[in-house]
Structure 1
Amino acid sequence: MDASVVHELFTDDGRALLASLPPYEEKNVVMLTTRLRAAGHSPELVAAALTQSRLQARAVDKFGDAAAAMFFTPDALEQATRAPIARLHAQRFLDAGASLVIDGGCGIGSDAVGLARAGLDVIGVEADPETAALAAQNLASFPGSRVVTGRVEDVAASLDQAGAAWWFDPARRTPGVADIRGRTKRTFSLAALTPTWDLIQHVAAAAPAAGAKLSPSLAHHDVPSGCEVEFVSYAGDVVEASVWWGAAVRDVGRTATIVRPRPGGSRSSGDRVPPDVLHVIEADFNGIDAAPASRASLGPYFYEADKALTRSGLVGALLDATGGHEFTPGHGYVTADALVDIGLLGRAYRVLDSVPLHEKTLRAYLRERAVGRLTIKKRDVDVDADALRRSLKLKGSNALTVVLVTLDGERLALVVEPL
């Protein structure tokens, strides 16, 4: 987006144009474009306003009602931290005694806004001038916060202040390389981060408190000594791995943080309905090592661990809660004899049946029960779920859920119902 057009959006006329737009619908874009140009608005401003309207509609999922007053770019929105998780980041810094946080790589300011709302002063650093301008607008209502345009590598020394904490959300996309949907291609390599992983570690280690938001695929062995790595899930999906240094560390080692929207709320509830949150730490559950599941231990209940537990290697919390046995260590599928309330640790199911995972056998089983809709869950069985579903040639009005597991060397389909 051209810098002059970005700044035109911030004028009274630009804001009025944005405010005048109806709720975004793709089917209305051509008609709106024609009408707005006929009203005298430049083609560039119309395109920019409609782009913002589209992005604001998408952003409701992460920011709730606050999205309507924020500015975005497509890549920055995708990497932006959800408002409920940004609040958790802010609480870390508050607990660490921070009053000023330097946000190195702030993007459009999603975390910076969360920090500022919590009462912290924020200095955002963003290399891209247009994105920095959007971040500055998103932070404009917080007098103690500002945005500096530049690379962290170039401005870190001049910005660092005694007692300042640091937060990093390094760019994880490769400039100039697009995926099949036209978005900048995502990278999962620590070596490809901007600012660099080496610089992040150097600055963070010297700060009184620091944190860095990294990919959920972060390997456990890449976590620096003495730090805490926190794998965070939201509504069942692992969305980040945050590494914490200094006073921001609560428990050295691995932590699983499970964030779940409350019943009656939604993924888009934003600030209106705070989610439920559970922290599971390595020191409490890493040593739990129940015997693997076997035919003899196959129970009437099945538990699916939240993915934050599996990524952090802390499925032991679910084993401890259920007294159960895991089918394949580390994958989070557990069988147990008792039905217990596991809270946020995962989801419980009743086991109705088990069927050998042979195509003909399973097809006959499903046809006998007129199953036309089949949900297939799997984590450790190398089967293409979509191809399997097609091969079963489902017919009927009933629905079933099956979980593919390996038990005593045999692949099974557990027929389950959620509880």
Structure 2
Amino acid sequence: MSISDADLVAAVLTPEGFALLESTDPDSANTEDQGIALNLALRKAGHSPEVSSGVVHQIRLRHLAKAKLGGFAERMIFTRGGLEQATRLQVAAHHADRFRAAGLRQIADLGCGLGTDAMALAALGMNVTAVELDETTAAAATINLMPFENARVEMGDATEFDLAGFDGVWLDPARRTQAGGNTQRIFDPEAFSPPLSFVERLADAGLPVGVKLGPGIPHGSVPANCEAQWVSVDGDVTEVALWFGALRRPDVRRSALVLNEDGVHELHAASDFSDSSSVGTPVSPDDISGYIYEPDGAVIRAGLVVDVAESVGGSLLDPHIAYFMAPSLVSTPYARAYRVVAVRPYHVKSLRSWVKASGIGVLDIKKRGLDVSPEELRKVLLAGTGSKKNKKKATLILTRVGDERVAIEVEPAS
């Protein structure tokens, strides 16, 4: 019988469980097979099934959490659902810096989850009260915030918490639900816990408010009185943060924050989303040349593709598709560039012939504007080509230019 997340956390928060967790090699359960072996070893050493499973579970989650939280993960307590929604440490630092820059000191973190944002706020010297409704998650957050004297955890409903004495509010609403032992995403902002309407009421009452939401929120659901900032980390769009009141920057309605190995980059606009739609006519497939640029996901979500295209002297392939071309290679943190090798009509049979004649064995396929599964198409195009050994690698961009479907052979530009 499987052990619940609550029981697994409870087991490691006993004196025996916590001591065992802290004394066990943190790299002893990096894989599922290692976890099984460690579980058996702990049981043979005389530990109960609950404690053994709880320790292994935490070590596995700590290993997975390193990608988001680095070395901090080695001393934290996790739930699986909490880790899925937890803010990456470098992003949490940007959230906290907003509050510091606005001169706010007493912060309520409503729906704190595992406490990663509260940790960042406390690290920058603000006094933080983290509120969490779920008992197990609140217990984990309490452990995670113990190093910070200026942070405390209260268990309770975020929508009923008394905000008297607080000058700023941060929220990370629950956007997942448990079903059959698995977590499922929720996409309706009014189904979040707390809902987006609650956030708006706080802002309407005059409180500076920041809220983290999933990046797929439709532009039409973004309140009119906030700044919306989409964030990507190493190419992965992780969130959109809405900033109200003193946390919103003057003359910024939408922005893209791009964090990568080269640093921190931001692009923003004062115009509303209704003003961000691209205009113009599609180019002719015969005119596609030079370099194709694939914008960062945060740039696309923020409606800033045209801004990036103009910055490199480029133009859209199609007014409704987020690819643009430019005659020369211009370095930009907001898009990845590919050199155009050849442009072909999108015909599966002719593409199979090209793959075979060119000796291609590894094929990377990107697409926008076409109802195509790159994985399935790759199987079809590579079928019968034999071993990948000594085969060429190629990249295809599949897209639409007006009514025409095209397959653009490209090479990644350095």
TM-score normalised to the size of structure 1? Answer: 0.89
Tell me the residue number matched to 1:199.
198
Deviation at 1:11, TM superposition (A): 5.2
**3-state secondary structure, aligned to 1:374:** strand
My pick for the range that moved more, 114-123 or 300-309, is: 114-123
Tell me the residue number matched to 2:248.
249
Structure 1 residues 301 and 4, CA gap change in structure 2 (3 angstroms): closer
Gaps of 5+ in 1: 263-275
Pairwise mapping of residues 278-357 of structure 1 onto structure 2 (< 5 A)?
278-283=265-270, 286=276, 289=279, 292-295=282-285, 297-342=287-332, 344-357=333-346
Map Cα deviations across residues 111-157 of structure 1 (whole Å, 9 max, x no partner).
11111122221111100111101001100010011011011122x2x
Tell me the residue number matched to 2:36.
30
Measure, in 2, the Cα distance between the counterparts of 1:334 and 1:204. Answer: 38
Pairwise mapping of residues 3-14 of structure 1 onto structure 2 (< 5 A)?
6=9, 9-10=12-13, 12-14=15-17
**3-state secondary structure, aligned to 1:247:** helix
Deviation at 1:104, TM superposition (A): 0.6
Deviation at 1:240, TM superposition (A): 0.7
**3-state secondary structure, aligned to 1:87:** helix
Deviation at 1:5, TM superposition (A): 6.4
Pairwise mapping of residues 111-130 of structure 1 onto structure 2 (< 5 A)?
111-130=117-136
**3-state secondary structure, aligned to 1:166:** strand
Tell me the residue number matched to 2:83.
77
Aligned 8 A contact 1:165 1:207 in 2: no
Tell me the residue number matched to 1:17.
20
- Confirm or deny that 1:403 pairs with 2:388: no
Q: Which amino acid aligns with 1:34?
A: L
Aligned 8 A contact 1:101 1:121 in 2: yes
Structure 1 residues 33 and 153, CA gap change in structure 2 (3 angstroms): same
Measure, in 2, the Cα distance between the counterparts of 1:400 and 1:75. Answer: 38
Pairwise mapping of residues 124-143 of structure 1 onto structure 2 (< 5 A)?
124-143=130-149
Aligned length: 398
Map Cα deviations across residues 34-87 of structure 1 (whole Å, 9 max, x no partner).
332233322211111111011001000100111101111000000000001001
**3-state secondary structure, aligned to 2:351:** helix
Tell me the residue number matched to 2:350.
361
Structure 1 residues 136 and 207, CA gap change in structure 2 (3 angstroms): farther
Measure, in 1, the Cα distance between the counterparts of 2:335 and 2:140. Answer: 38
My pick for the range that moved more, 101-110 or 42-51, is: 42-51
Structure 1 residues 346 and 2, CA gap change in structure 2 (3 angstroms): closer
Could you tell me which of 35, 52, 62 is aligned with 2:58? Answer: 52
- Confirm or deny that 1:95 pairs with 2:101: yes
Measure, in 1, the Cα distance between the counterparts of 2:402 and 2:6. Answer: 62
Could you tell me which of 380, 385, 406 is aligned with 1:412? Answer: 406
Structure 1 residues 410 and 331, CA gap change in structure 2 (3 angstroms): closer
Deviation at 1:297, TM superposition (A): 4.1
Pairwise mapping of residues 143-292 of structure 1 onto structure 2 (< 5 A)?
143-154=149-160, 156=161, 158=162, 160-175=163-178, 177-178=179-180, 182-250=181-249, 251-262=251-262, 276-283=263-270, 286=276, 289=279, 292=282
Measure, in 2, the Cα distance between the counterparts of 1:372 and 1:3. Answer: 48
Q: Which amino acid aligns with 2:234?
A: A
Question: Percent of aligned pairs with the same residue?
Answer: 38
Could you tell me which of 107, 114, 121 is aligned with 2:113? Answer: 107
Tell me the residue number matched to 1:372.
361
| Greater relative contact order structure (CA < 8 Å, 6+ sep) | 1
Aligned 8 A contact 1:309 1:332 in 2: no
Aligned 8 A contact 1:303 1:349 in 2: yes
Deviation at 1:234, TM superposition (A): 1.3
**3-state secondary structure, aligned to 1:332:** strand
Structure 1 residues 326 and 18, CA gap change in structure 2 (3 angstroms): same
Measure, in 2, the Cα distance between the counterparts of 1:287 and 1:193. Answer: 28
Deviation at 1:283, TM superposition (A): 2.7
Map Cα deviations across residues 252-303 of structure 1 (whole Å, 9 max, x no partner).
42111111134xxxxxxxxxxxxx1212112389488565433464221111
Deviation at 1:162, TM superposition (A): 3.5
**3-state secondary structure, aligned to 1:327:** strand
TM-score normalised to the size of structure 2? Answer: 0.90
Deviation at 1:195, TM superposition (A): 1.2
